[in-house]
Structure 1
Amino acid sequence: MRDHEPDHPAAGERRLTTREAAELLGVKPETVYAYVSRGQLGSRRAPGSRGSTFDADEVRALARRNRRDGGTNPASAAGQELTVRTRLTLIENDRFSYRGVDAVELAARHTYEEVAEWLWTGELRPDAAFSAPESSVAAARRAVDALPEHAGPADRLRVAAIAAAVTDPLRFDLSEDAVLGTARILIPTLVAALPPVLRDGHDQDPIAHRLWTRLSGQEPDEPTLEALDTALGLLVDHDLAASTLAVRVAASARAHAYAAVSAGLGVIEGPLHGAAGGLAHRMLLEVLDLGSAGPVVAEELRAGRRIPGLGHRLYPGEDPRARALFALLEEVPRAAPALAAARDVQVTAARHTPLHANVDLALAVLTVSSGMASTAAETIFAVARTAGWIAHALEEYGERPLRMRPSGLYAGPRPPRPLPE
């Protein structure tokens, strides 16, 4: 069962009226509803009344943020980050959790499929497995096969998602059970639609095994497959990243799950998001080719570029996902050269700016040591994050429609102006 707020306040809980919330925030009542429309404040209809009520703790937290940011009016707070309530992922103190459970421990002890089920439902389903009907897979493969050879991972996955949607006449059913059914079909369809590099896997294989055959021509071993499966679990969700926000906007407009995932795939293709692992991959290959990170790091700094795979704005210290993956890759003998190259990059870059490795650098070690293409990290990221996007879409379907509708701050010439000649 998905978590929902109770329909009635718990015993002793007192919710605020619109007037009380406005007084606490120091704004007009209409501004309170502006906060609600921007996802910065949640509201609930009072039983037997047409008025809305508000959680007192949430209102106080928003008031503190407004005081800290130096403004109270959401319409005038240009640049203020959108906040969206979620019960999925919490990031704090260089750790992150899925529904309150340490995400690193969860991904280490459970398969990607089990982690996805936990994020979707709040229940652990041992031996969870995903399979897709042949009609969905066949349509997705035909669509992907029609793309030119140079098509990237996001291109292929987005086309596969659209093709799979067309085969599903019930895709507009946004009930929780229907969306979960879509998720369990869509993820294996996306993987099956990718051209195999090794022999084709079996439908009964775990997603990590099936994905390996699409990414590497090397025979897998258990430690490497474990690292790939753990990477998928660690990448399932990471708060409100740009692609996740796009998914929630689509879901807010009541786009079906296939379309919401397609929105996420469109954003992930940007060089500042999904492509980061590929940049780190190419950097490690260059370090291995030259035998030293010194000239590679120097060239990046000379060009004014960030060193790929280092630093993360949500983790002042070490990215826990990178730490977990590095520990697993240390058990893989063929990963030793790439691991050494990654450490060389860290040590060399630290002379300029002391930054910790992030998950992109750890993914690059996995993809380089497994003989994968530089685009493999983006594929791993996209397949993994599809589960998180579905979880966020499910949350958004339970909210008021079209709430993700900010207002533009017009900066053009003021009317009236004469018609152009």
Structure 2
Amino acid sequence: MQVIGEVAGRWIRRNEALERLGIKTQTLYAYVSRGRVVARPDPADSRRSLYDAEAIERLQRGEIPPAGAVTAPERSAPRGEADIASSLSVVADNRLFYRGLDAAQLAQQATLEEVACRLWGGRDAGLFTGLKPRVDGVIGMSIRARLFASLARRAEEDVTSLDCDGELLRGQAASILNEVIDAAAGPGPRLHFHQRLARGWKTLDRDSHLIRRALVLAADEGQDPAVLAVRSAAGAGAPIAGAALAGITTVVGSALMRDFIEVSAWAVEARRDPAGATQRRFQETGNLPGFSESSEGDARAMALLAAADLPADLAAVISEGEAATGGRATFTMALAIVARRLELPREAAADMFLLGRLTGLLGHAVDQVMNGSPIRARLRYVGPEPGAN
């Protein structure tokens, strides 16, 4: 076992944990997602995880703690880091779990409404029953602009989140998401969210499941700057629409959105001549947009592509890219390829991601108000001395 700095002997790799317990990988993931084993990124390889050796030893002895009983050791946040506790999602060995359930497995059947209720701490999709379109719905502009406008309007209309209980917050989140989907897709029959979007994009009903899968898989990303933005705003009392707006604008301003532009353009270019375009691009730049350096791959991307029933040209974009790079298609690439498979507008891959991600950001806002601890962060002034010229 490799020694890892200050926690030498405490953390072990996945293969050793599996060998000690005599279990399959999925069982270990379940222990992590249920809070029975703590996992952390491997400092030597952030794509892999290390597992708490003490928890593994307790399981070896047959001591099964109740779900959520095992927690990571408390530590002070290092300078420049915020310490955030979240019960929404966790990434373990390249798989994303929503409150203990594998997102890729959920995407096989679950709707975005069902996943929203899970992430928001609700019991069922009844939150969305009876929600109607607004008479003064946001129209015109791009889907992204309508998303922003819908959130901004609700941020002005709704009260501070500090005055709300959990039931009211979840009701607000459902109403907000309903309004945003209507703004993106246009008003119409009260179908499931993915069906409304499919109708707005004029997608065949038999293909709408791909939009549903994409939305579910995009719902949360674990901890990132957007989560910090949402939780900071919600913890300070912002209406949850305002907190979600802070998060979604953080996503839009991130490098990920630049990736969506580049990857979506590449999916269109490479489709015309997958082998030739890939060879030329890789020889010229040494890399391809939309493919990771890891051979393990993102489980979300693999799940979405496996369900897409790709035509030969799009399948070749993936196979040629993976052969050239030795890596796997990223989730961004999977969304771009599905957008091409459905003949959606070029920006639709990013739009699907943002609409799905909004669901998780609303969940983080609700969770921060109801269960979140104060976010520990320090601002250290390094400017001129007060009064200096």
Structure of higher CA gyration radius: 1
* Cα shift at 1:355: 2.4
Unaligned runs of 5+ in 2: 1-67
Q: In structure 2, do the counterparts of structure 1 residues 416 and 380 end up closer, same or farther at CA, with 3 Å as the change threshold?
A: closer
* Cα shift at 1:168: 5.0
Q: Structure 1 CA distance, aligned partners of 2:83 and 2:222?
A: 11
Q: Structure 1 CA distance, aligned partners of 2:147 and 2:255?
A: 19
Q: Structure 2 CA distance, aligned partners of 1:368 and 1:130?
A: 32
Aligned structure 1 segments of 4 or more residues deviating by more than 6 angstroms: 169-172
* Cα shift at 1:339: 2.4
Cα displacement string for residues 50-82 of structure 1 (whole angstroms, at most 9, x for unaligned residues) = xxxxx9975x7245xxxxxxxxx75xx445x43
Cα displacement string for residues 177-201 of structure 1 (whole angstroms, at most 9, x for unaligned residues) = 11111111111211211365xxx64
Matching of residues 17-416 of structure 1 within 5 Å: 61-62=73-74, 74=77, 77-79=78-80, 81-121=81-121, 123=123, 125=124, 129=128, 132-134=131-133, 137-141=134-138, 144-145=139-140, 147=141, 152-166=142-156, 168=158, 173-194=163-184, 201-202=188-189, 204-214=190-200, 216-217=201-202, 219-222=203-206, 224-291=207-274, 292=276, 293-301=278-286, 307-311=288-292, 317-330=296-309, 335-348=311-324, 350=325, 354-399=326-371, 403-404=374-375, 406-413=377-384, 415=385
Q: Structure 1 CA distance, aligned partners of 2:212 and 2:321?
A: 26
**2:196 alignment partner AA:** R
* Cα shift at 1:299: 4.3
Q: In structure 2, do the counterparts of structure 1 residues 371 and 106 end up closer, same or farther at CA, with 3 Å as the change threshold?
A: same
**2:367 alignment partner AA:** E
* Cα shift at 1:131: 5.8
Q: In structure 2, do the counterparts of structure 1 residues 206 and 275 end up closer, same or farther at CA, with 3 Å as the change threshold?
A: farther
Q: Structure 1 CA distance, aligned partners of 2:89 and 2:367?
A: 12
Q: Structure 1 CA distance, aligned partners of 2:154 and 2:271?
A: 40
Q: Structure 2 CA distance, aligned partners of 1:185 and 1:194?
A: 14
Q: In structure 2, do the counterparts of structure 1 residues 129 and 122 end up closer, same or farther at CA, with 3 Å as the change threshold?
A: closer
Aligned to 1:5: none
**1:346 alignment partner AA:** E
Q: Structure 2 CA distance, aligned partners of 1:209 and 1:393?
A: 26
Q: In structure 2, do the counterparts of structure 1 residues 405 and 83 end up closer, same or farther at CA, with 3 Å as the change threshold?
A: closer
TM-score normalised by L of structure 1: 0.68
Q: Provide the identity percentage.
A: 24
**1:225 alignment partner AA:** S
Aligned-residue RMSD, C-alpha? 3.0
* Cα shift at 1:226: 1.1
Q: Structure 2 CA distance, aligned partners of 1:296 and 1:211?
A: 34
Q: Structure 1 CA distance, aligned partners of 2:238 and 2:94?
A: 34
Q: Structure 1 CA distance, aligned partners of 2:386 and 2:240?
A: 43
**Secondary structure, aligned partner of 1:90:** strand
Aligned to 2:19: none
Unaligned runs of 5+ in 1: 1-54, 64-72
Q: Structure 2 CA distance, aligned partners of 1:225 and 1:56?
A: 40
* Cα shift at 1:241: 2.2
